[in-house]
Chain A
Amino acid sequence: MTNILEIRGLRACITGGREVLKGIDLTVAPGEVHAIMGPNGAGKSTLSSVLAGKPGYEVTAGSVFYKGVDLLSMPPDARAREGLFLAFQYPVEIPGVNNMYFLRAALNAGRRQRGQPELDAQQFLKAVREKLKLLDIGDDLLRRAVNVGFSGGEKKRNEIFQMAMLEPNLALLDETDSGLDIDALRVVSDGVNRLRDPGRAIIMVTHYQRLLDYVVPDHVHVLADGRIVASGDRHFAVELEQTGYAHLCDAA
């Protein structure tokens, strides 16, 4: 079976600035959940940004194959339509644009890409209800403008709901646990757990062990100074909690 993601020797810098990723190798198979941990400034968020195609970064070496296709040659919207989803650390507000309308536009953009018929209003509503039920969350956010006036927890919940609706092949969760109280963290991680699927890979980027108590990963990697310096199974995270990153960073 084709791996969902194969990163080989990936180096990237901030456009016109310093190098942040200094040779990343990572392979992710369908159904796997990977956690990428590491100290601040290690390049965790840059990795998700580069994978999603955010402007402002320049790939200087290496390759990324997504479902067997050269990911780096695709514009960001095409990556998204091909099933790559980024849950933002700081979801962006879009005033005046209804959340449902936005989501339907996004969903139908992907469906068009896959040659599937677009969902009309009724079919869309049905799909929304199913996902709300799956995630066990209310519909209170749906009628509001995209992320406008949402609390931190509401924004993260909205990201997970979007992920549920868009059914990605690869989901990148960028610090999804940051800024959440324990109740919100539980809602969000329950959501992620329910979206685990044999056909879907999830990469969680996080600073804290905390999230991994709720969403148990198959693989844990430590990213330090732009390289993956250590990898292990689910128990590795607990180990890290006790030993910290410092000795690994030195090794790097």
Chain B
Amino acid sequence: MSDVTIAERPAAGPEDILDSIVQGEGYKYGFFTEIEAEEAPPGLNEDIVRFISAKKGEPGWLLDWRLKAFRRWQTMDPPDWAKLNIAPIDYQAASYYSAPKSLKDAPKSLDEVDPELLKTYEKLGIPLGERAALAGVAVDAVFDSVSVATTYKDKLGELGIIFCSFGEAVREHPDLVRRYLGSVVPVADNFFAALNSAVFSDGSFVYVPPGVRCPMELSTYFRINAAKTGQFERTLLIADKGAYVSYLEGCTAPQRDENQLHAAVVELVAMEDAEIKYATVQNWYPGDADGKGGIYNFVTKRGACRGDRAKISWAQVETGSAITWKYPSCLLEGDHSVGAFYSVAITNNRQQADTGTKMIHIGRNTSSTVISKGISAGRGQNTYRGQIKVLSAADGARNYTQCDSLLIGKSCGAHTVPYIDVRHPGAKVEHEATTSKISDEQMFYCQQRGLTAEDALSLIVNGFCKEVLNELPMEFAVEAQKLLAVSLEGSVG
């Protein structure tokens, strides 16, 4: 285990958390909102792709792009290299489009939302505005596959920042979308990316113009509500020369017995001197203690540092989903560009996660940092899978990777699979990995000071994850710490 103590964030923060750790009763987002939805019939064929495109009133070029992706997808096989045990998925059984029929049916203000639900959000420390979003009231939430609304648009507009739903971007800024869509994750990049490209129904779009520093954290909450629907959102984020943006993404889904498919694609483009920070707290429904139900989370996230000195940083806290297959990656094309990946992944009960990153060093003097913290409890299986690739022209490339695994109990598993592919003799690539268990001595020490077993576990786990939690924006860090506690419920006995 690392002996490095990371400096405290100023102001409040993690110090304030433990006092208010939530002792909940399992998955807190398992509610289902009764809204009449407009759904495509189950199944996937070219007609469905056309149906989705028509529903959204898309231009011909985008329909063609979708169809191209669909045809490629039909020729592809699901990847089988991950250490995941997945029952065969019937792609014809799901519905590929679900939209609330009328936004009038959604609650219009917090007064109309179940007070129990609001209490839950309050306990989790989610700010009021975000509580509203989660409840489907207003702002900036992707509810099933359709973006409900977007806040702060006008304020951002004054700075030339575009922050809107993907559908709106297609209508209002077609040139930008056309220029960048698929430029980082090509349609046939992998099975799930191709599926997403064919059937994505909405998502978020961000463009920050040259030299502009986005003054606020942009955030999107995703929620899968309807039954038997997949969610396929598409996020495209461009930071032009010298721009800066920090983006947060949160995910929840109601509790259901059947598995639901989620296959998202996120593309980031950072031009010269631009910086993008992208943080995710993923809390999709993980299934019950016996592994029944839960979200299948197959996500392709990739950022391109297109210009010199561009920086992209991924931070993720993965606590949910029955299955997570996700490798947020960086293409370090520009000279002196910098990529980072900070990850906490928890698997409890029967959850399985195969997650990590790819850092592809292409330009000169590029550097990357990978910090991965995997926590396994119950019968959870947790795999770090990472690739560090240094191409032959990448003079002065450097990578530092640290993978730490923490085991809680005797029936879980932790696996580390680093691929290192170096084609330049001068590259410096470091990999450190540790595996540890929470010791009885640590637990007793905390309990002897008055902490309950649950609080003690949460404290120790939070300490283990600290280097990653420090990379999250403050509000998210608070929420993430509480989610860690909730996710580990039942793992001390």
Contacts and interface: CB of A to CB of B under 8 A. Distances in A.
Contacts of B12: 121
Interface centre among B5, B439, B442 (most CB of A within 10 A): B5
B16 A121 contact: yes
A96 B450 contact: no
A118 interface: yes
B442 A106 contact: no
Interface string A126-163: 00000000000000000111001100000000000010
Interface residues of A, number: 43
Contacts of A97: 459-460, 462-463, 466
A236 interface: no
Contact of B465 (A54, A96, A101): A96
A80 B450 CA distance: 5
Contact of A95 (B2, B19, B446, B452): B2
B451 A109 contact: yes
B69 to A, nearest CB: 43
Nearest to B8: A98
Contact of A110 (B8, B440, B450, B463): B450
Interface string B11-52: 010111011000000000000000000000000000000000
Contacts of B14: 98, 101
A52 interface: yes
B444 A54 contact: yes
B80 interface: no
Given A88-B445, A121-B12, A148-B5, A95 B18 contact: no
Nearest to A54: B444
B90 interface: no
Interface residues of B, number: 36
Interface string A99-114: 0111111111110010
A162 B238 CA distance: 51
Interface string A160-173: 00100010000000
A55 interface: yes
B82 interface: no
B19 A102 contact: no
B3 interface: yes
Given A96-B5, A121-B15, A149-B3, A102 B459 contact: yes
Given A105-B19, A121-B12, A148-B3, A77 B447 contact: yes
Given A76-B447, A96-B463, A101-B14, 10 more contacts: A53-B447, A53-B448, A86-B448, A93-B442, A95-B5, A96-B464, A103-B449, A105-B455, A109-B451, A121-B12
7 contacts: A54-B444, A77-B448, A96-B467, A105-B451, A143-B8, A145-B5, A145-B463
Interface of B: 1-3, 5-6, 8, 12, 14-16, 18-19, 439-442, 444-453, 455-456, 459-460, 462-467
